[in-house]
Amino acid sequence: MTAAEVQLAADKRPGGREILDHLQSRKDEFVAFLEKLTRVESPSLVPESQAPARAIIADRLEAGGFRTRRLSGKRNGGNLFARPDKRPRGAPVQLLIGHYDTVWPLGTLKEMPFEVDGNTVRGPGVYDMKGGITQIVFALEALSHFGISPPLAPVIYANSDEEIGSRESTRHIRQLARCARRAFVLEPSLGREGRLKTARKGVGRFTVTIRGQAAHAGLDPDKGASAILELSHVVQALFALNDAERGVTVNVGMIEGGLRPNVVAPQSGAVVDVRVRTRDDAESVTKAIHGLKPVVPGTSLEIEGAIGRPALEPTPRNRALWRIAKELSSELDLDLQEGLAGGGSDGNTTSLYTATLDGLGPVGDGAHAPHEFLYLDETLQRTALLALLLLAPPGETKETHA
pTM of the model: 0.89
pLDDT digits (tens, 9 = 90+) for 122-153: 999 999 999 999 999 999 999 999 999 999 99
> What DSSP character marks residue 87?
P
Give the CA angle between residues 143, 144, 147 to the nearest 5°.
90
User: Are 212 and 266 a contacting pair, CB within 8 Å?
Assistant: yes
Count other C-beta atoms under 10 Å from residue 5's C-beta.
11
Between strands 180-185 and 355-357, the pairing is: parallel
User: Are 401 and 319 a contacting pair, CB within 8 Å?
Assistant: no
> Under DSSP, is residue 99 helix (H, G, I), strand (E, B) or coil?
strand
Kindly state which CATH superfamily the domain 3-200+311-391 is placed in: Zn peptidases (3.40.630.10)
> Under DSSP, is residue 80 helix (H, G, I), strand (E, B) or coil?
strand
Domain boundaries, the chain: 3-200+311-391, 202-309
Give residue 348's pLDDT: 96
**Distance between CA atoms of residues 277 and 402, nearest Å:** 15
CATH architecture of 202-309: 2-Layer Sandwich (3.30)
Q: Which residues pair with 55 in a beta bridge?
A: none
Which one, of 255, 247, 317, lies nearest residue 284 by Cα?
247
**Distance between CA atoms of residues 207 and 130, nearest Å:** 32
Q: Residue type at 190?
A: L
Count other C-beta atoms under 10 Å from residue 396's C-beta.
15
**Distance between CA atoms of residues 165 and 305, nearest Å:** 14
Least confident span in 214-218, 340-344, 365-369, 398-402: 398-402
Q: What percent of the chain has pLDDT over 70?
A: 95
Confidence of residue 400 (pLDDT cuts 50, 70, 90): very low
**Distance between CA atoms of residues 106 and 126, nearest Å:** 15
pLDDT digits (tens, 9 = 90+) for 50-59: 999 999 999 9
